[in-house]
Each structure stands twice: as C-alpha cells, then as structure tokens.
Amino acid sequence: MKLFGTDGIRGRVNEYPITPQTVVRVGMAVGRILFKRRGKNMVLIGKDTRLSGYMIESALTSGICSMGMNVTLTGPIPTPGVAFLTRTMRFDAGIVISASHNPYEDNGIKIFTPAGYKLPDELEREIEELVLAENGFTNGKAMGGNSAGGNTAGLIGKAFRLEDAAGRYIEFVKSTIPRTVTFDGFKVVVDCANGAAYKITPTLLKELGATVVSINDNPDGKNINAGCGALHLEKLQEAVLRHRAHMGIAHDGDADRTLLVDETGGVVDGDRIMAVWADDLKAEGRLLNNTVVATVMSNLGLQRYFEARSIRFIRANVGDRFVVEKMLEEGCNFGGEQSGHIVSLELNTTGDGPITALQMLNVLKKSGQPLSQLVSGVTLYPQVLKNVRVAVRRNIDECPPILAAILKAEKQLGQSGRVLVRPSGTEPKIRIMVEGPDKSLIDGIADDIASAVTASMV
C-alpha cells in the first residue's frame, strides 16, 4: 500500500498510514537509511499545532533514535522554517509533522534533504520499501542491528530540543529585505490559521515597525484551518475593511503558503502575487533566466500577462515540490502556485509564507501604490474549481464517460480556455478546473464533468 503522495505522507489520524505503529516504522526507515550514510547523525523535527502532533512526534522520535540517530525538536514552526534550519544547521534531514491546509483530524509527514529540498522519488521509494517490507524491522541480519531491527542499547540515539528555533527563523526572514527598510505607518491584518505561524508572522512584522492586527492566533490543537486561514478568507476580508488596513495576510496551517487581501477587501491569489513579485525581480535584474515556473492550475490570464512582458512562462505539475524541481531543471529562481505556495530560490528552498508576506509588503512600500492598484494589471480569466469526493480513485484514462466530457468541453472552449481533471495527491478527491471567458459557460462545463466523475467513481 503506497505511503507517499504529492506532498509526503498524509491521512486521517489513527488510520493507516498515520498510526503510531506505522509512524514508528517510518522513523526507523528514515533513521536506518541516514545511519548508513553516517552524516552528522542528527534529524530535525518540527510540527504545526495539531493535537496529534505530540503523538506523531513521539513515534517518529522513537523510531529514529532506535536506529542510532539523534533527534532535535523545534516545537511548532512553519514548514519553511524547518527547511531553513535543516540547511543552515547542517542536519542530515528535516521532518515536518503537518497536514498543511487539511482539518485537524488529518496529519502528515514531510521530509527534507540536508539541502532543504523535498525528498526525491528514489529516497521516498527506499523509505516506503522498508516500512512496507514484512520483515523489514524484525530481521536483525537484514537491518544490521539487533533482533528487533534497531541498534543495540548502547548505540541508540538521543532527543534534544532547539529552544530558539522560532527566533532563528524570524531573523532569517527579516534578513531577506534590506536592513534599512521598515514598515512604519503600515497597518496589516494577519490570519494565522491557528497554525504554525501564529507567533512568527505577527512578531516579525511588529519588529519591522508595522501595526499588526492578528486574528486566529490562539491554537487549541483542534481549530487549525477551521473556518480561517488561506482557505477561508472571509474573516480576513472583514478585518481588513474594519481596521482600514493596507493589506491582509492569510497563511495555511503550516505557513508554507500565503494569500493576500487588498485594502478594498479584494482577494489577491498566488497568481497575482507571482505577477507582482516577478515584475519587481525583473526590474531589479534578479529574475534568473527571465523565467517563471507555475503549475497547470495557474490561470491562463497569468500566462498572457507574462507573455505580454516577454517573461518566459513554464507550467509544472501541481505541488510546490514539482515547481522547485522544474525551476532547478530550467535554471531559474522564481515560481509558485495559485494556492499561494511561492518559491524564491534565492531566499529559501520551498514555499515560504512569511517570506512571501514580507516581500509583498516591501514591493508595496517601494511602489507607493495601494495593493489593489498594484495587481490591477493582472486580468484573470473566470475559473471554476470543483472537488468530487470519490470512494475509489480510478485512472481517469480508464473512464470513457469522463474522457468524453473532457473532450466535449475542450471543443466548446477552443483556444479561449482550459480544462484540467486530476486526482488529488493528498485527499480522496477528483479535482476539476475549468476556465474561460464566460462564467456561465464554464459553470455548466464543470457541472457536466463532475456528473461524469460521480457516475464513474462514486
């Protein structure tokens, strides 16, 4: 049974694969693979604010230590903070316990390499094979340890705590803008999603002089992403208008993404963020190879926007991991997703919500324009997104009714729109995206495809 999805291991807590038993085996597999390489002998583990984080943290730590590796714990910290600390403190791996934007009932495990990148496919397969092998941790000879599969008593690892992890990350984020820049006179509302950045982003903006109104910053283990954050912008929009703020900032549970709200209450998604930020990078001569990498979900309007500015536009598969892989392959340094994962490789190795917020606030200050005006040049096509929950995910290519509905839609839209139907990499859903010049037309097309999916898979 497959462990890894689009973004690590993810599922419902206390159901496979997010059970203590399986998580211990994941820890043992990670520890065993790293122990054989004999690096610094240290693994960093961070987490978001989910109640189940304590259980998973303990299980992972137990498995890793049993293989002779040491563990350093950060407590709640954004996913990009773990990537940063893994890279700069020279850990052998970094692990984030989070299910990102999912509700608290879910949790997951993301693993970073020593360089701060998501694991490549071959390492995921190696971990998966060890975890799923029937005798992987019970055959002492196979594992090179004792009869239980781990190291002998004198060779097991220890667990430590990094007390200043959040402070180190905050100082790093602040260092991504010039030291002379402050945000005195700016009022900002931050929706922390009751997640990993509930202290981080408000603190760093206050330290840079901004007046900060912080909402959804009181995590209780169960309210992460609950009607708040990047997936639920209504409260942020209301707060921006009520407080007459210059900008609203919304993170998801592990703060690797950011969406914005302008001073009029309008939503600024990842596509518009990429447009504004890329323009600024190009103006400063920092847009490497004059290229931006987005995903198949990014709006056709963004593509047209970059074409008009002679900026090369490349699409990757959905997932910031695939965006980064494409960026490295193409030799460029900027890209992201419509959902708010924005990656600047000159600053960090993965989507970084606090850095995105800070950079956009800096662009706003340099421009002297309100955010609504700054993004007004980006004309996005109407887009409909539908998610159909399915009992069993079948290959779309094996479902003639779905293929027929897609072919019909593509003929209706021609060159003026796009259709994308794909299985979710993190949930039992089929995701449908339709965009085009006419909202009523694409609504009907999306409904037709959703009906075909329901008839074929539900």
User: Which residues are part of the catalytic machinery?
Assistant: 100
DSSP at 290: G
Q: How far is CA 219 from CA 14, 48, 69, 167, 196, in A?
A: 21, 10, 31, 19, 9
Angle between helices 20-37 and 121-132 (to 10 degrees): 120
Structure token digits, residue 155: 């060779």
Q: How far is CA 241 from CA 189, 252, 265, in A?
A: 10, 21, 6
Q: Residue 396 and residue 343: Cα distance in Å, rounded? A: 30
Q: Is 36 exposed, middle or buried (0-12, 13-18, 19+ CB in 10 A)?
A: exposed
DSSP-based three-state secondary structure for 29: helix
Can you tell me which residue has the tokens 């005006």?
A: 373
DSSP-based three-state secondary structure for 54: helix
Q: Residue 149 and residue 171: Cα distance in Å, rounded? A: 41
Q: Where are the beta strands (DSSP E) in 147-223?
A: 159-161, 187-191, 211-215
Q: Residue 228 and residue 225: Cα distance in Å, rounded? A: 5
Alpha helices (H) in 336-399, listed in sequence order? 353-367, 371-374
Which residues have C-beta within 8 Å of that of residue 164, sequence separation ≥ 6?
Answer: none
DSSP at 158: -
Q: Residue 59 and residue 19: Cα distance in Å, rounded? A: 9
Which residues have C-beta within 8 Å of that of residue 423, sequence separation ≥ 6?
Answer: 393, 396, 429, 430, 431
How many residues does the structure list for the chain? 458
